[in-house]
Structures are given as C-alpha cells and as structure tokens.
Structure 1
C-alpha cells in the first residue's frame, strides 16, 4: 500500500488509566514505520504523555520523529478556539433566534471539545499523507463517551427535525459515525493489566463498543510478571505467586472471548525512545504485521430469523453471566442496557407490528422472540 492512495487505517488504543496504552500505541506506530508504512501516532488523551514515550517534544503539529513516523497531540481546546466562527455560524443556522452570547454558551456544552478532537483525528486520517493513524485515546470511560458522541448527536439532530439548517452538521456527524463503525477502516485495541478489576472493566468496554457497532480487533495484556523458574528466595516466591495469579485471570479472559489476547511482560526499565519501543513491539507482535493481526469481524448487532409462530431477533453482544441486562420497547425502538450502558436501536421493519414474548441470554448475546400482535 502506498501513501496517499486513500483514507488511512485508524487504530485506537484505550484502556483503564495507567495500563500502558500510550507506550503500546507508540510501539505499534514505530513497528509499522519500520515495516515501510507512513504512520502518524496522535494523542487524544488530555494527559498527553506521548512525548514521554518517544523522549522527544511532541506538539499539535504532526512532526517526524523517525523515518516514516510522525507524532502529534490533538488539542481539543485549541480546535474549539480555531473553529469558533464556523461553530457560531452553524448554531445561528440551526437556531436563528439565538443571540451571539447564547451561541457562545452552547459551544461550551460537555462533549463539544471531544467531538472536535474526534473530528480532527478523522480529518488527519482522511486528508493526511499517512497510511495508518494510531490514536492514543484517553482512559476507557472518556473514550467510550468520545466514541458515543457521533451517534448521540446524530440521533438528537434526527429527532429535532431542523430541516436544511441541520444538513451540514448532520452530514458531518454521519461521516464520523460511518468511519467509526467501518471495521475495514477503524478498530480498537484494548490494553489491560492482568488484574480482575481491570479485566472486569475491559469486559464492560467490549459490550459498550459492541453496542455502538465499533470493532475491537484484539486485547493486549500488559505488564505480566516475568517468570522466575530458576530463582530462589522470598522474591522469587512472590514473583511465581503473582505470575500464577495473572495467568489464572488471563485464562478466564481467554475462555470468555474469541478475540486474540496478546501478552507483554513487565520491563525493569521503562521503554523510552524508538529503539526501546521497537523492542517492546517485537514482544507484542513477534513476526506478525500489526495490521494483519486483527480478530474476526464482529457479527452485525441485530439479525432476524423466522421461527415457527414468529421471529427471533439476535443481539450480538459479548455478555457474561455477571452482566446486568435490561430491555425495553419504546415504540419502534429497542432500548438495550448492559451494565449501565444504554443504546436505542431501531427495530427491523418486519418486527414493528410484533410484540416480544421471551428473551434469553447466551454466549452469542441476547435472543428475543417476537410474535404477531400489537406492538407493546
């Protein structure tokens, strides 16, 4: 693949704060650059520690840090300031009676900065000379809010029915959503440490992303304690015990997902600079191409099949026995809530005159039975 032949592939790294996602994103970008790809690694994390990983200053303007490897910070506040006039014009079009002061207040609503940051990442992928854009996202909770914004904003615009005034914004938000849910263009890699609390959050994140239709292609278990088979003494005993605990946690994770789980051992020295990051990438990917190690594409969120007396609607979600699931029918939509994460999805047209008679959970997600009758 040569640079400039089309939109770049997007790889989004996220995970609970402190699990090492920034370092692994930087290592992946360095490995891709060595493989001949022109790569940009961009930090959308407000903490901005990407420069620490490279041992070099990183600014808001993409700059080359090594051959074929570029880095930048996405400054959401700066984007908001630079986009101020365009935002104000659009708000005037959407709400003609709004004053300048009111429009200014609307632009500081929660989520505007994040939406602009996501817009900038997608713009860089579409317009830049890079083949791959690796994104160091914020911690999991922030990333989920960020990735949910295009769909949420799009849904509100549809309900508001603002006509031609909303066309620009709705089209823009729709493009963002299309990029995020296209598994050929965008995928997420979840970074975790082998601890039960972190793995539990990772499982919830998998469900939340599946609800949004966003592809997760692999998991990365970081900071495994090195084996101490030939060592003796209390320290060696502690290391063996800790490693056994980590292996037990990862075995449970392996059994609960079809995604590949890559493993990286804890290092005595923090990997800083391109040579050290490449060493980390060797352990992470081995001889594999970081772009060719994706898991199976997720099944469509909804699928319908005819059964005797009605239909079955399968909702593909990676839920577990510990998941809390709630379903509600709201007109022609189905409200699905899993572990506190909620999404409204439009029911297929052929089910809208049927009512739900049963719902069961299984390894592939939820299965709802619909039978003839008035919609409930």
Structure 2
C-alpha cells in the first residue's frame, strides 16, 4: 500500500480524488457582501498531503467548509468541487449526507466544541459506522474499539464509554480523527489539527495522520498556520492571501525558493532557534485588505516592495513562475513580478511601493 501511495504522490497517477476549480464564496448581509474566497483551484491526488497556509482570515477554513458543504444558507458558492467525479456544488443535502463521512471527512479545529458532550465517544464513532456501513450496535462498538486503537488511544475498550470532558485535548483530537476515518474516506480535511496542543502531542497527531495516509492511502488537506508542521507533513503547499491563491509548489521548492512576495514574508517572519538575541521579529508591513470587494488587481500590492503600476492595473494570472514551463508546472504563483530562483528577498527590508515611508524609515536613509 505504501509504495503505491508514494508513487501516486510523485507521479500523480490517475485522476485526482478531489478537484476544486475557480471556487468562490461570498456572504451577503443587509449592508455589505464579503468575498471570503475568490477563484481558488487545486487538485488532490490519492495519498497526497496538501497544506493550505496563510494568515487568519485568508479563507482557508471557509474553503474547507465549502468542500464539505457545511456553509450556512447565507453563503453563495460558485465554481466546481468534484469528489470522485461527483459535483458537490449545488448538490442536494441528501446527496451530500451520503458523501460526508464516507467519501470525504473533516477533522474540526476544536474537538471540545465539535464532539457532543452528552454522548460517549463510542456512541459518536458508532453513529458514523451505523449510518454509512449499516453495522449493528454491537458491530459498531467493536469497530470503534479498533479505531481508537488505530489512532493511538491506550486501553480503548475502557475509554470507549467515556465522555469528551474526561479526555485530554490530545485524546479528544484523536477521537475526532477516529470519527473522520471510520469509513476509510478517500479525502480527509484536517483544519488546524494541532492547534493549542503541546509539542509532544502535536507530534503524535501528525504521526497518526501519516500512518493513516500510508495504511489507507487517504489524501489529506492540511489547514495550518504552523510552517514547521507543513515542512514535516506536506507534499505540496497552497498559499492563500485575502481569499485568493497566491502560490502553489512542492513543499521543498516552496521553502527553498518561494517566488511570491507574500510567501517570502511568511517564511521570513518565522521565529528560528539561535537567532540574533533581541532582534525584532520581521513582519510584513501594511494591513490585510478588506474583503468587501475584490479588485481587478493584485490584492497584496499595497504591502509589497516590488509593486508597480502593473500590479494595481490588473489581476495577475495563476501560472508558472518559470518561463516556458506551461500552465501545468509544479511551481505556480499569482504575481506580476515573482522572485527569481536564488534571488534575495527584500520584502521585509524595503518600504512598499504604494505605502508612504514612516518617519523612522526616512530617518534611517
């Protein structure tokens, strides 16, 4: 199984298990419309781990909830989401209920608010099995014990009758994973699965996900802020900013030669051991734009040191960062002036082209 999975990841064998095309999500109120996601596209192949990164509010979780069909009625969804060749956008709720949990599942960000506090964990896992696989209560209980053992919960036969509040945060997260993988879904969306967990527990959760990928061939969308987790667990990375995709690349390429200025900013702002003592942590200048409107321009231009009139006059296409490699290139970015391979980064040292210099910057010239 493992060799087949790794071959799929490297060679992209077969059709993608999840295909998202030009996805847009907006929320309308009486006074305004918020464009939370604007034109996001990606493919996910069997056994592959795609990390989706970006700062809070960039649209990562909304994209995931749209894929699951869990957005509220106020959301307007456009584009295409296909799982196993089936279109989910516009599908009736009864059809989505057959797919959720069976073909595509999600690990939610906060297990304490996602698990039912008045039901035992065994009953909550068993509910998925009885609904999608038609197991009897006894069969579902035995399978639930196996699943708890699979995700690394000790003494699963005694734990199965406990309630969520009786478990630690790491244990609750493992229960969430057990529920998500109960029916061996082809796609697993993990929304911040290691948030608020200590480093040791984080490592355990990531080991569980890696084991599931190798045993079952599950494709994983990993939504996270933690670039260390991305480096350890992901095969590819999709970087989002202000609801848009700005860069996509194999994980090693992204860390070695990020091309989009925003990605350079994210990597440059990571705290590194053995730094320069009390040196101020670099930050991306400027503010995240409002999502009330999505301009026909680069949304990162007001914060970018490389921006010029081209960047504010039109929206850049999402294409190869290297000339002549075509639209199917592994490394792509939405930028009019991407960094070249080996080019030094200046985003954290220069003043954005469209933002006036601060007095302390003027004094330092």
Q: Which has the higher helix share?
A: 1
Determine if the TM-score, normalized by the shorter chain, exceeds 0.5. no
TM-score (norm 1): 0.32
TM-score (norm 2): 0.33
